[in-house]
């Protein structure tokens, strides 16, 4: 059984859309995106453009959807989907819970709203080697920094003001963290600071048609499988202001019979996390393996089974 993982912010790289354009459906989907957004998305595929939150989120979404469709064309059957943060929108499209044009408009709204609300002064950081309880003690009751994601049992993301994140990382380092570093993200995603963005997304998803996903969709907000369109819609809106329960989501998939994790483009962070957390399973990165090889390995390891949704 194969679970598709769609990456989040931080996985971006220059040229990802140009690479995606060479894949099946790539050029057509990029042309459709350009028409819907009234901008040639391929002109915003370089390093300067990727300093803008809205471009980063859009490019990751597009590369993920295109590479997922190419995997399916190559014979890989997707049995479950999960997306980290902005990756959840690509996962919703791959689960057929949300139409591509509607998802793209939500992604654009999300990115632009974040960029406008948090022009400067905010950051995210990652702590490895300490568990969530230890990091909770570090951030305490401050309104400057919050836990933003549990990516693994000993890899926790924090977000908030630059000063708050710096202080939290310094304390984590002093307490013996293996690593404590700033991420290339300038908005405090998945914290209460995002409540105004959550409210915008609540209103936006209420005006869009969602469908029952054809395979289980793992929610960011609680790491559980969502089997109804309304549940997917709620998660896309609510999770922007809640910590990402990524480890819980991947563990839930293991309990439901997933034996192969395949990470869509761009990047390989989620495949790396899965390989470390579940060494007995197969974790594949399209970025490293390429479409054909990734689909072939997934077919051989996953036996093309699907979770009954």
pLDDT tens-place string over residues 62-107? 999 999 999 999 999 999 999 999 999 999 999 999 999 999 999 9
Q: 139 lies in a domain?
A: yes
**Residue 309 covered by a domain:** no
| 8 Å CB contact between 307 and 79 | yes
CATH number for the domain spanning 55: value is 3.40.366.10
Q: Are residues 241 and 101 in the same domain?
A: yes
Let me know whether 146 and 20 are in one domain. no
Instruction: Decide if pLDDT at 307 tops 50.
Output: no
State pLDDT tens for residues 124-183: 999 999 999 999 999 998 889 999 999 999 999 999 999 999 999 999 999 999 999 999
For the segment 23-61, what is each residue's pLDDT rounded down to a tens digit? Answer: 999 999 999 999 999 999 999 999 999 999 999 999 999
What is the side-by-side strand order in the sheet with 155-161? 145-152, 155-161, 122-128, 179-182
Residue 218 has φ and ψ, to the nearest 5°, of: -85, 125
CATH code (residue 170): 3.30.70.250
Does this model's pTM top 0.85? yes
Residues 6+ apart with CB under 8 A from 2: 76, 77, 78, 79, 80, 258, 259, 260, 261, 262, 298, 301, 302, 304
Is the residue at 112 inside a domain? yes
Q: Give yes or no: residues 113 and 81 share one domain.
A: yes
Of 94, 84, 102, the residue nearest 220 (C-alpha): 84
> Taking Cα atoms as reference points, which of 127, 129, 85, 132 lies closest to residue 107?
85
Q: Show the tokens assigned to 216.
A: 């289980």
Same domain? For 228 and 274 the reply is yes
Structural domain includes residue 187: no
* CA nearest to 109, candidates 54, 178, 71: 54
Structural domain of residue 136, as residue ranges? 122-182
- The residue to which tokens 């999960």 are assigned: 82
199 with 92, same domain: the answer is: yes
Q: How many CB atoms lie within 10 A of CB 174?
A: 10
Structural domains counted in the chain: 2
């Amino acid at each position: 059984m194969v679970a598709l993982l769609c990456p989040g912010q931080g996985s971006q790289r220059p040229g990802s859309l140009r690479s995606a354009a060479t894949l099946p459906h790539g050029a057509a989907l990029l042309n459709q995106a350009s028409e819907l957004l009234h901008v040639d998305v391929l002109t915003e595929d370089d390093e300067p453009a990727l300093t803008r939150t809205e471009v980063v989120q859009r490019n990751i979404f597009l590369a993920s959807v295109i590479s997922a469709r190419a995997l399916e064309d190559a014979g890989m059957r997707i049995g479950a989907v999960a997306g980290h943060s902005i990756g959840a929108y690509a996962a919703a499209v791959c689960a057929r819970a949300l139409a591509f044009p509607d998802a793209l408009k939500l992604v654009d709204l999300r990115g632009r709203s974040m960029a406008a609300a948090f022009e400067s002064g905010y950051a995210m950081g990652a702590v490895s080697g300490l568990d969530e309880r230890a990091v909770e003690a570090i951030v305490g009751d401050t309104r400057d920094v919050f836990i933003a994601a549990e990516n693994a049992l000993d890899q926790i993301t924090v977000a908030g003001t630059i000063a708050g994140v710096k202080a939290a990382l310094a304390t984590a380092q002093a307490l013996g963290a293996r690593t404590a570093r700033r991420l290339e993200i300038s908005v405090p995603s998945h914290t209460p600071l995002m409540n105004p963005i959550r409210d915008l997304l609540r209103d936006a998803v209420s005006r869009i048609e969602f469908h029952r996903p054809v395979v289980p969709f793992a929610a960011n907000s609680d790491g559980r499988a969502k089997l109804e369109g309304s549940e997917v819609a709620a998660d896309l809106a609510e999770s922007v202001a809640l910590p990402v329960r990524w480890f819980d989501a991947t563990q839930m998939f293991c309990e439901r019979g997933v034996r192969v994790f395949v990470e869509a483009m761009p990047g390989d962070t989620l495949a790396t996390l899965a390989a470390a957390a579940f060494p007995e399973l197969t974790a594949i990165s399209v970025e490293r393996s390429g479409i054909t090889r990734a689909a072939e390995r997934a077919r051989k390891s996953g036996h093309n089974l699907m979770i009954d949704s």
